[in-house]
Amino acid sequence: MPKTYRVAVFGRTGKGDYGHGVDVCWLDHPQTEVVAVADENPDGRAAAAKRLGVNCAFADYVEMLNEVKPDILAIGPRWIDQHRDATVAAGERGVHVFMEKPFCRTLEEADEIITTCERTHTKVAIAHPTRYSPIISTVKGLLREGAIGNVLELRARGKEDRRGGGEDLWVLGSHMLDLSLALGYDPEWCFASVLQGGEPIRREHVAEGAEGIGPLAGDAVRATYGLKQGITMTWQSYRNQGGDPRRYGLQIFGSKGIMEIVEGSLPEVHILQDSSWSPGRSGKSWEKVTTAGIGQPEPLSGKETGHRHLYAIDDLLSAIEDQREPKCSMYEGRRIVEMIAAVFESVRVGQPVSFPLETRVNPLTLL
């Protein structure tokens, strides 16, 4: 019989809550059972216990780990100021982790997590849902087959709402950077500018960011990454410049067309097979891409009506049993944090920076 994994949930009501369903996703999986919840907020804790159908509820997640001894800790808060501490606490006890993104605040924190979890052989999976979607294999196959010709550049944007700029880079940009890594693109360097009110950011612009991000600045971010594949990727975001529909997503430009991906557990993927990149010139049309191919209906797998994290849970359980790393592991999480940090490090030193970064703290603390 397949093993049933005992899951403990950590949330912080009013301080990141339980993320994008990182608490309830386990209720939809046949191999997982939620056994306890921790939340420092009494009302939030009671509501979570009722929602999850558990009797064990704690104010402190360390006490929960010690008493319940779960197989997996689900770290739900969208605020990331406790991500390092909670993951290290779980890792020290050999408890595997599934956590809301972004991974953590600095490369220093990422290094500490990895050191602990390597020592105890603990698996850490990060909730970037697109990474786990089967459509990623389809997109990679189409790119290999030359569906848009030779890839020439990648362009990504945030939602460019009230969070546009630095916050958008952390919260939504992390999805886009993860997506580029999932498709196999490797960054070598980053050159960026970050503006606040039209001026290059200075020390006086730095303030504590939302969602526990730490020191943050910028209402406009323009970043270029040089990729090992000999091309570039740009990531840009300007505050309060979002459209309807949004531009949020990743576009891959090739010599024969464009592939566009909007993130999610069931991402929206479209292709324009047009070397001019302009339907107005060519008369070509965008077509939908599914796991069955271009212009084909999506075959139903049974997960379409389930929770957005079911693919990720499948992958984490498989990683535990096969003793491999999850698709979006702590190592990939560190790479994403490094790509974000590189934007601010490039601004700090006033020139392109190479990977891996030498600076492991938040570069904005050194301005």
| Helices 330-349, 107-120: crossing angle, 10 deg rounding | 160
* DSSP alpha helix (H) spans, the chain: 42-52, 61-68, 83-92, 107-120, 129-132, 135-145, 166-171, 173-182, 279-282, 310-322, 330-349
Percent of the chain with pLDDT over 70: 98
Q: pLDDT: is 300 or 119 the higher one? A: 119
- For range 324-352, the mean pLDDT: 98
Q: Quick one: pLDDT at residue 344?
A: 98
In this chain, the answer to whether the domains covering 5-122 and 131-300+337-354 adopt an identical fold is no
Domain boundaries, the chain: 5-122, 131-300+337-354
**Which pTM value belongs to this model?**
0.96
pLDDT in tens, 197-227: 999 999 999 999 999 999 999 999 999 999 9
Calculate the CA 27 to chain-centre distance. 22
Q: Do β-strands 220-227 and 187-196 pair in parallel, antiparallel, or remain unpaired?
A: antiparallel
Q: What is the DSSP letter of 325?
A: -
User: Three-state SS for 12?
Assistant: strand
Cβ-count burial of 19 within 10 angstroms (0-12 exposed, 13-18 middle, 19+ buried)?
Answer: buried
Does the pLDDT at position 305 exceed 60? no
Looking at per-residue pLDDT, the higher value among 257 and 303 belongs to 257
For domain 5-122, give the CATH superfamily.
NAD(P)-binding Rossmann-like Domain (3.40.50.720)
Residue range 131-300+337-354 forms a domain whose CATH class is alpha beta
Short-list 70, 71, 130, 137, CA closest to 311: 130
Q: What is the mean pLDDT of the chain?
A: 96
Residue 299, pLDDT above cutoff 90: no
The three-state secondary structure class of 182 is helix
Going by C-alpha positions, the residue among 269, 272, 273, 275 that lies closest to residue 288 is 269
3-state secondary structure of 294: strand
| 302-327 burial: b if 16+ Cβ within 10 Å, else e | ebeeebbbbbbbebbbebbeeeeebb
Measure the CA–CA gap between 105 and 120, rounded to whole angstroms.
22
